[in-house]
A and B are shown apart, each in its own frame.
Chain A
Amino acid sequence: MDFANLAAQLNAGTILPEGIVIITLLVVLVGDLIVGRSASRWLPYVAIAGLLSAIAALYLQWDNTNPVSFFGAFNSDDLSVIFRGIIALSATVTILMSIRYIEQSGTAMAEFMTILLTATLGGMFLSGASELVMIFISLETLSISSYLLTGYTKRDPRSNEAALKYLLIGAASTAVFLYGVSLLYGLSGGETQLSAIAVGLNSANAGQSLALVISLVFVIAGIAFKISAAPFHQWTPDVYEGAPTPVIAFLSVGSKAAGFALAIRLMTTAFPLLTDEWHFVFTALAVLSMILGNVVALAQTTMKRMLAYSSIAQAGFIMIGLIAGTDAGYASMVFYLLVYLFMNLGGFSCVILFSLRTGTDQISEYSGLYQKDPLLTLCLSICLLSLGGIPPLAGFFGKIYLFWAGWQAGLYGLVLLGLVTTVVSIYYYIRVVRMMVVKEPQEVSDAVRNYPEVRWDLPGMRPLQVGLVLSLVATSLAGILSNPLFTLANNSITNTSTLQPAVVSSVGTQVDVNQTQPLID
């Protein structure tokens, strides 16, 4: 076959945003080598520019009529576009908040940016991967970069320890995931594309076989590790405490969004025969995550650990949309992840700012902060209250939509549990807010009493301020002006062809995705 024909079949234009990210990371890596250490002044802005142009390129991908590319390895439908946008945006905000942090910790800037961009790349590819090998490689790109970022402050024993635990648990969960995947490959008669697997399983009458159930459970174990759902959450608090804070900001949003994108695509495309079973498994995960995350968060004394348990609980809430299995359910997941991006990253920006100025992240040290730094107090309060779901902030509308979608789908028990645990969660979020606005001078903590003068003109502080204000504005306005986001989330679901037949759970109509079979025969 000639080259033009091959290029047309590859449909390589669909990975233009990822191409931009790859070029950016090479520019950052090589630029640092050529220019030397002085390059760290402008490298972060190169990375941000690259990510923003990747988001612009994603905008052009919207409503692509021919989304399947690379012979079915990658599917650039609207669902993947919106998840890739979420991941790229979270990486952008993470870079804004990390510049000062990296400088102060004395680590190399360029390598941090490169590894973070690689993690972003892995997440973006994972959102669109529709073939087992592609899923595996992009998942590992994301995971290995995350291990490296976690251990990035290598002189700190806590960071080493977090990286080691993350790597060992992560590699083990990858192995379990792969075992499930290998069973899928065997059961479907040697297929690796998700849609072909569904067809293969259907024709092999493997519907209720033990092997398929085992493979489902193993695959879900791998996914649950990525989205840190209980009982696969053990790594989360340790990694959140030991890793550099910008890294966990990215892990809590970008990596989690990629995990959810994988969950939606893999479950709806490859396991339509086992819809009841995977709904049941995810219900159990959601119940455990909501209860464990919210209850254990009550007992935490450091901010980073509290946010870790809070992120476990949030994963439980988001899973309600997945279990609902309707268009509204998936759209509510996307909507919640969009608002979660801003409120969680805003919260982490505040935690970073506070720890840079005082060198601690104990919750008790926040007391009386209102008198010294009103902007930080305001921003952290808004973000935490939004995470708790207080109206009229963005998180409230996100939760309402999730619960409404769950209620419509008949998940009454799950929604009620969600409501109860939300009340619990409001308690521990409010506790921090109450502590910050405390008035009595004798209750003001030492860290706040020695609070340095607020200076935004230090190197690297301006981008942190930009990120802070951006997430503050987005969190407070996205609630009131949520309609565009809402429409975006809904359109991304209704325009995704692979999701539509899966919702009515019929396998036969999916064969058309499979037309671009390999041409090697």
Chain B
Amino acid sequence: MNLAEGVQIVSFGILAVMMIGTALGVVLLPNIVYSAFLLGGVFISIAGMYLLLNADFVAAAQVLIYIGAVNVLILFAIMLVNKREDFAPLRNAWVRPVFTGLVSVGLFALLGTMVLVTPWALSTQVSAGDSAIFLIGQHFFTDFLLPFELASILLLMAMVGAIILARREFLPDQVMSPTKQQPILTLPERPRELVSVSSDKSSNLDDGRRG
């Protein structure tokens, strides 16, 4: 990466504005589909940041995994739960966003102060640059070997578990074998009386208490 300093500053500025703008869109826009696409914008601008930070391999991984896998997965999920629903309005609905906004701004002030006052031990060495991918490979098979192997178990298990949870099981709903006293795939404990499974309507009454 031998871009001139000016080019770097300009591209950093563009990416930063794009990242903050799209991130705000993700959390603020009312339509969830727009949010999901803007999330892709956040991921792309962060991949651009990684290029500025001399990390082309991680930038490629960011694009492939976050945009290619995670973002597409989120879009699929939005389509699968595709019910246009207008959430029932809550009483005092403005309190929580305002309060959270204040807390977030305060947290940013704290973190920002921390970043600015800390004397970071900057290194004067030249960056690994193009040889980064070799270094990452060497790390994977020497000092990060154990986490690398454990991650494979983690991925296997996440796959198995996600399939189990998301698979639609066609059970004959009311036909139960006589030995089983309970509906299948549920807890043996009965739910408490005050809540029923179809509490969607009735529970609107007491929603306000947690606004």
Chain A residues within CB distance 8 Å of chain B:
10, 15, 22, 25, 29, 69-74, 101, 104-108, 111, 114-115, 118, 121-122, 125, 131, 133-134, 136-138, 140-141, 144-145, 148, 151-159, 163, 186-187, 189-190, 204, 206, 209-211, 214, 242, 244-245, 302, 304, 355-356, 359-362, 518-520
Query: Which residues from 101 to 160 on chain B have a C-beta closer than 8 Å to any C-beta of chain A?
Result: 110-111, 113-115, 117-118, 120-121, 123, 135, 138-139, 142-147, 150-151, 153-154, 157-158, 160
Query: Is A73 touching B151 in the complex (CB atoms < 8 A)?
Result: no
Chain B residues within CB distance 8 Å of chain A:
110-111, 113-115, 117-118, 120-121, 123, 135, 138-139, 142-147, 150-151, 153-154, 157-158, 160-162, 164-165, 169, 171, 180-192, 197
Q: How far is it, in angstroms, between the C-alpha of A211 and the C-alpha of B147 when the chains are bound?
A: 27
Q: How far is it, in angstroms, between the C-alpha of A158 and the C-alpha of B171 when the chains are bound?
A: 19
In the complex, which residues of chain A have a beta carbon less than 8 angstroms from the beta carbon of B191?
158
Query: Is A144 touching B158 in the complex (CB atoms < 8 A)?
Result: yes
Query: Is A157 touching B185 in the complex (CB atoms < 8 A)?
Result: no
A101: nearest residue on chain B (CB-CB)? Answer: B188
Known: A15-B146, A74-B146, A156-B186. 10 other contacts (CB 8 A): A101-B188, A111-B161, A134-B147, A148-B164, A153-B185, A159-B187, A163-B165, A187-B121, A355-B188, A519-B142
In the complex, which residues of chain A have a beta carbon less than 8 angstroms from the beta carbon of B117?
209-210
B162: nearest residue on chain A (CB-CB)? Answer: A148
Query: Is A144 touching B114 in the complex (CB atoms < 8 A)?
Result: no
Checking B145, B151, B157 against A148 with a beta-carbon cut-off of 8 angstroms, the contacting residue is B157
Q: How far is the CB of A510 from chain B (nearest CB, A)?
A: 18
In the complex, which residues of chain B have a beta carbon less than 8 angstroms from the beta carbon of A114?
157, 160
Query: Is A106 touching B180 in the complex (CB atoms < 8 A)?
Result: yes
What are 23 A-B contacts with C-beta separation under 8 Å?
A: A73-B143, A104-B182, A105-B186, A105-B188, A111-B161, A118-B157, A122-B154, A134-B150, A138-B147, A145-B157, A148-B164, A148-B165, A156-B187, A187-B118, A189-B123, A209-B117, A214-B114, A304-B189, A355-B188, A359-B188, A360-B190, A518-B143, A520-B139
Checking A108, A111, A140, A356 against B188 with a beta-carbon cut-off of 8 angstroms, the contacting residue is A356
Query: Is A104 touching B157 in the complex (CB atoms < 8 A)?
Result: no
Q: How far is it, in angstroms, between the C-alpha of A121 and the C-alpha of B150 when the chains are bound?
A: 9
Query: Is B187 touching A520 in the complex (CB atoms < 8 A)?
Result: no
Checking A137, A155, A518 against B186 with a beta-carbon cut-off of 8 angstroms, the contacting residue is A155
In the complex, which residues of chain B have a beta carbon less than 8 angstroms from the beta carbon of A156?
185-187
Query: Is B143 touching A153 in the complex (CB atoms < 8 A)?
Result: no
In the complex, which residues of chain B have a beta carbon less than 8 angstroms from the beta carbon of A157?
197
Query: Is B165 touching A151 in the complex (CB atoms < 8 A)?
Result: yes
Nearest 4 CB-CB pairings of A with B? A148-B161, A155-B185, A106-B184, A156-B186
Q: How far is it, in angstroms, between the C-alpha of A141 and the C-alpha of B149 when the chains are bound?
A: 12
Q: How far is it, in angstroms, between the C-alpha of A29 and the C-alpha of B164 when the chains are bound?
A: 13
Q: How many A-B residue pairs have CB under 8 A?
A: 155
Query: Is A73 touching B146 in the complex (CB atoms < 8 A)?
Result: yes
Query: Is A520 touching B143 in the complex (CB atoms < 8 A)?
Result: yes
Q: How far is it, in angstroms, between the C-alpha of A404 and the C-alpha of B83 when the chains are bound?
A: 59
Q: How far is the CB of B146 from chain A (nearest CB, A)?
A: 4
Query: Is B145 touching A107 in the complex (CB atoms < 8 A)?
Result: no
In the complex, which residues of chain B have a beta carbon less than 8 angstroms from the beta carbon of A115?
157, 160-161
In the complex, which residues of chain B have a beta carbon less than 8 angstroms from the beta carbon of A186?
120
In the complex, which residues of chain A have a beta carbon less than 8 angstroms from the beta carbon of B150?
121-122, 125, 134, 137-138, 141
In the complex, which residues of chain A have a beta carbon less than 8 angstroms from the beta carbon of B197?
157
Q: How far is the CB of A77 from chain B (nearest CB, A)?
A: 16
Checking B115, B138, B153 against A520 with a beta-carbon cut-off of 8 angstroms, the contacting residue is B138
Checking B138, B142, B147, B183 against A155 with a beta-carbon cut-off of 8 angstroms, the contacting residue is B183
Q: A189-B121, A211-B118 are in contact. Are A134 and B146 (CB under 8 A)?
A: yes
In the complex, which residues of chain A have a beta carbon less than 8 angstroms from the beta carbon of B146?
15, 69-70, 73-74, 125, 134
Q: How far is it, in angstroms, between the C-alpha of A118 and the C-alpha of B189 when the chains are bound?
A: 26
Checking B154, B160, B189 against A355 with a beta-carbon cut-off of 8 angstroms, the contacting residue is B189
Q: How far is it, in angstroms, between the C-alpha of A138 and the C-alpha of B113 when the chains are bound?
A: 32
In the complex, which residues of chain A have a beta carbon less than 8 angstroms from the beta carbon of B115?
211
Query: Is B186 touching A108 in the complex (CB atoms < 8 A)?
Result: no
Q: How far is the CB of B123 from chain A (nearest CB, A)?
A: 7
Checking A73, A108, A111, A210 against B145 with a beta-carbon cut-off of 8 angstroms, the contacting residue is A73
Q: A133-B147, A154-B165, A360-B190 are in contact. Are A105 and B142 (CB under 8 A)?
A: no
A1: nearest residue on chain B (CB-CB)? Answer: B142
Q: How far is the CB of A197 from chain B (nearest CB, A)?
A: 13
B181: nearest residue on chain A (CB-CB)? Answer: A359
In the complex, which residues of chain B have a beta carbon less than 8 angstroms from the beta carbon of A101?
188
Q: How far is the CB of A54 from chain B (nearest CB, A)?
A: 15
In the complex, which residues of chain B have a beta carbon less than 8 angstroms from the beta carbon of A69?
146
A365: nearest residue on chain B (CB-CB)? Answer: B190
